[in-house]
Amino acid sequence: MTTPVISVAYHSGFGHTSVIAEAVRAGALEAGAEVHLIKVDEITHEQWAVLDSSDAIVFGSPTYMGTASGAFHVFAEATSTRWATQAWNGKLAAGFTNSASKSGDKLHTLQFFQILAAQLGMHWVSLGLLPGWNSRTGSENDLNRLGVFAGAAAQTNADEGPEAVHKADIATAEHLGRRVTETARVFLRGQAAA
């Protein structure tokens, strides 16, 4: 059986989004993937090659002013060379974000990732979870407690550090890592059978 190669390409301004990236990594490792964490604001030529050889790329960024961080936008623009050659066409993509507000326009960041993936010819993998914490029996400890479908969303208070990232948001990101890995495994088996 082929081991899926998953890369997590992310930016983290103050460490909160790094916690989520590590959780995506942990979930993907648990599901049997080879996983690479790539900080897009420090990306090297060798890391671009890792992205090129990955089966799936999970994009991550804090949501600042209603969109991904400036550092992530610089990375996204740099993918234009991959767009020109369609080097990532057929790869899987997914995404995650964190902001201080419960909504914080996180959906816009995830949609930005989806459009980037679509322009690059990639297939988007959604979170695949029903919303949590939306009934009398629900709690803030439910998976997908923020009720986001497009990807993993996290909320951390603006006056707290990375250690305060909510455990349910970490577990939701782990779920995303497992789901991307499982989806990549299905794609790889399909390619092998074709």
Tell me the pLDDT tens digit for each residue of 41-66: 999 999 999 999 999 999 999 999 99
First to last CA, the chain: 15
- The residue among 40, 110, 38 whose CA lies nearest residue 68 is 110
**Structure confidence at residue 1 (pLDDT):** 62
- The residue among 158, 181, 169 whose CA lies nearest residue 96 is 169
- With pLDDT > 70 as the criterion, what percentage of the chain qualifies? 99
Which residues of the chain register pLDDT less than 50?
Answer: none
Task: Confirm if 58 and 9 have CB atoms less than 8 A apart.
Answer: yes
**Structure confidence at residue 135 (pLDDT):** 95
Tell the residue number behind the tokens 């794609």, with chain if given: 187
Q: Is 1 helix (H, G, I), strand (E, B) or coil?
A: coil
Q: Is 122 helix (H, G, I), strand (E, B) or coil?
A: coil
**Structure confidence at residue 66 (pLDDT):** 94
Q: Give the CA radius of gyration of the chain.
A: 16
Task: Confirm if 111 and 150 have CB atoms less than 8 A apart.
Answer: yes
